[in-house]
A and B are shown apart, each in its own frame.
Chain A
Amino acid sequence: MNFITQTLNGLGLGSIYALVALGYSMVYGIVQLINFAHGDIIMVGGYILYLILVNLGMPLWMAIAAAILVCAVAGVLIQRVAYHRLLVHNAARISLLITALGVSIFLQNLFMILFSSNPRSVPTLIDFGSLSLGSLAIPSKTVINIVVSVIMMVGLQLLVNKTKIGKAMQAASEDTGAAKLMGINTNYVVAFTFAIGSALAAVGAVLYCNTYPQISPDMGNLLGLKAFVAAVLGGIGSIPGAMLGGYILGVAETLTKGYVTSTAYDAVVFGILILVLLIKPTGLLGENRKEKV
């Protein structure tokens, strides 16, 4: 019974990783960039939520809406200011990576100066006790995490497969040059991808604050790293893959924490990354793309 509870908790944690991994995966799929700043977008979302909820005393739904909006705008802003010029000039990938790293460090240190590096505790957001299934009591946060992440993924799948902008995103990730020739405004598509990815990160931030009621300027570091590993595990560029990778990673981490070691469980994530790269670098659901010269 304990095992099932642990697994469910793992799925709850994995839901957060999955939402963050979606953003990494989508951005990587279109511009082939590991957006290091993505983890810090979660941190921004967490702080916006905290400021509006606690400092301004506004209702929860407004705080969540504001967090999502601010994160989406921040995502587009980062893309416009920091990456756009390099993407247009077809700069070396290492330049893009270093810029992304710079944005990540900038956000972290900006928030550290603004709000000090001490963690702040977030009040309980949503709590309806627990859901009992037979003798099993699932805490509300786990239920919320899983339900929200599934809704988000279904919504994203519909967006990508059924709408015009979604098809444009697919085209741009397949071949940006050809998409441009077909009359797709790729700049707009890239900006839209950043907005959606960052909005999903904001949802992830809300779930994170609900699960672990604490925020700090460096909270995005490890969370971002794990989510990226989840994206690689599931197959980078694939939306269901990112979700699957997130769930697997969350369960693996919780089970390690419960049964093996309570201190060095982060090392498991790293071990998974090495194994994936050794055995199946394209990930579980990723396609093997041939490189063209």
Chain B
Amino acid sequence: MGALKKKTGVYYGVNAILTVILFAVLLFLIDSGTLSRYNTTIITNVCINVILAVSLNLVTGILGQLVLGHAGFMLVGAYAAALFTKNIGLPLSVSLPIGLILGGLLAAVFGVVIGIPALRLRGDYLAIITLGFGEIIRVVANNLKITNGAQGLGGISSLQTRNNPAGMFIYAFAIAALLIFLSFTFGRSRHGRAVLSIREDEIAAESMGVNTTYYKLFTFVLAAFFAGIAGGLAAHQTGMIDPSKYDFNRSVEILIMVVLGGMGSITGSVISASVLTLLPEMLRDFDQYRMLVYSVILILVMLFKPSGLLGRYEISIPGLFQKLTGFIRKKSSGKGEAQS
């Protein structure tokens, strides 16, 4: 047990170092101008989509409940964060973090309001209630004065400026890294195991004393919180909020990232979110058929590999490295690694 703990610690350390290296390399490439403004925007969008996919995976993969209104939570967070930074009159470097947290909190409040009626019950009510929420929140945003109606909210200042090209990237990357770390520790914690038990068998979990409503609500609200933050990031990245961009198709796009990557696999979500953000950029002509292809992929994956391409498997670079060295050692000495 002690050895296992030590190994996990080493894994976390190695992963932290690798993350910092990746961050430093990207930051250097952006700051030095090697990556154009356009490419920087795409990389930031990758980070935002990673946040969305990983947070949705907490509910869909680890808890096993379908959420069809992730874009709705984004929209709430986007408006809250943007209205805050626009009206508070503080420099953006101060107001953006507060605005993002506010956006996340407001999305979380909405999550509680629609989560309580749906998650008290057993069954698929969360799917339909979040679907309704995503549709209705857009209708409401289109008709409110404070959100500037259907024209959307413009004139949101962005940290990504000529002098500071990596401004938004730093935030998006840091939050994505934090969320991934949180998801891993959550999945292995006492609370995470409670959530997993609900996915496996809700009745059994309840009879073992797991407060199912609490844990379901907790996970859902956590995901809503991060979706709100991602919405705030997206609003400040593009400088405007167009409510029609946060529609049902956007929610489905995030769901596809989770399903393809593997329901329950955090690294799977990261990879598929990255690929599915970069791919449409490269295949612009194909845009018209994108949703059609996505829907066929959804059906095929569900029919032939219901847990998603990676399933619950996690890719781990230190683990991969250890397997590789273990394999080499086994080959050279023929003893295996039983002693280590």
Contact = CB atoms under 8 A, between A and B. Distances in A.
Contact of B299 (A34, A103, A263, A266): A103
Interface stretch (A93-101, A136-144, A206-214): A93-101
A263 B136 CA distance: 11
Given A102-B295, A293-B203, A264 B140 contact: yes
A154 interface: no
Given A98-B302, A113-B289, A273-B129, A278 B117 contact: yes
Interface stretch (B6-14, B39-47, B120-128, B238-246): B120-128
A103 B289 CA distance: 15
Contacts of B136: 266-267, 270
B225 interface: no
A99 to B, nearest CB: 4
A166 interface: no
B292 A113 contact: yes
B306 interface: yes
B291 A91 contact: no
Contact of A99 (B60, B117, B302): B302
Contacts of B302: 86, 91, 95-96, 98-99, 102
Contacts of B203: 291, 293
Contacts of B248: 221
Interface stretch (B62-70, B74-82, B323-331): B62-70
Contacts of A94: 60, 64-66, 263
Interface in A90-116: 91-99, 101-106, 108-110, 113
B291 A105 contact: yes
Contact of A92 (B291, B294, B306): B306
Interface string B281-292: 000000011011
A99 B114 CA distance: 24
Interface stretch (A187-195, A222-230, A250-258): A222-230
Interface string B259-300: 100010000000000000000000000001101101110110
Contact of A264 (B65, B131, B143, B292): B143
B226 interface: no
Contact of B133 (A270, A278, A291): A270
Interface string A203-246: 00000000000000000011001001100100000000000000
A40 B97 CA distance: 42
Interface residues of B, number: 45
A285 interface: no
Contact of A269 (B132, B140, B252, B303): B132
B270 to A, nearest CB: 20
Nearest to B122: A291
Contacts of A91: 302, 306
A93 to B, nearest CB: 6
A43 to B, nearest CB: 14
Contacts of A86: 302-303, 306
A97 B127 contact: yes
Interface in A264-293: 264, 266-267, 269-270, 273-274, 277-278, 281, 291, 293
A82 interface: yes
A193 B118 CA distance: 27
Interface string A75-94: 00000001001100001111
Contacts of A293: 203-204
B31 interface: no
Contacts of A104: 295
A270 B132 contact: yes
A104 B299 CA distance: 10
A277 B296 contact: no
A130 B271 CA distance: 61
Contact of A105 (B120, B131, B289, B294): B294
B139 interface: yes
Interface in B193-245: 203-204
A95 B259 CA distance: 10
Contact of B143 (A102, A103, A108, A263): A263
B299 A106 contact: yes
A55 to B, nearest CB: 23
A183 to B, nearest CB: 29
A10 B203 CA distance: 41
Nearest to B293: A109
Given A82-B303, A85-B303, A98 B298 contact: yes
A97 B131 CA distance: 12
Contacts of A85: 303
Contact of B295 (A105, A229, A264, A266): A105
A221 B192 CA distance: 35
5 contacts: A94-B60, A94-B65, A96-B302, A98-B298, A109-B291
Interface of A: 34, 82, 85-86, 91-99, 101-106, 108-110, 113, 221-222, 225, 228-229, 232, 263-264, 266-267, 269-270, 273-274, 277-278, 281, 291, 293
Given A96-B302, A264-B140, 8 more contacts: A34-B128, A86-B302, A97-B127, A113-B288, A229-B128, A264-B143, A270-B135, A274-B117
Interface of B: 60, 64-66, 68, 114, 116-118, 120-122, 124-125, 127-129, 131-133, 135-136, 139-140, 142-143, 203-204, 248, 252, 255, 259, 263, 288-289, 291-292, 294-296, 298-299, 302-303, 306
Q: Return the 3 tightest CB-CB contacts between A and B, nearest first.
A: A102-B298, A105-B295, A106-B295
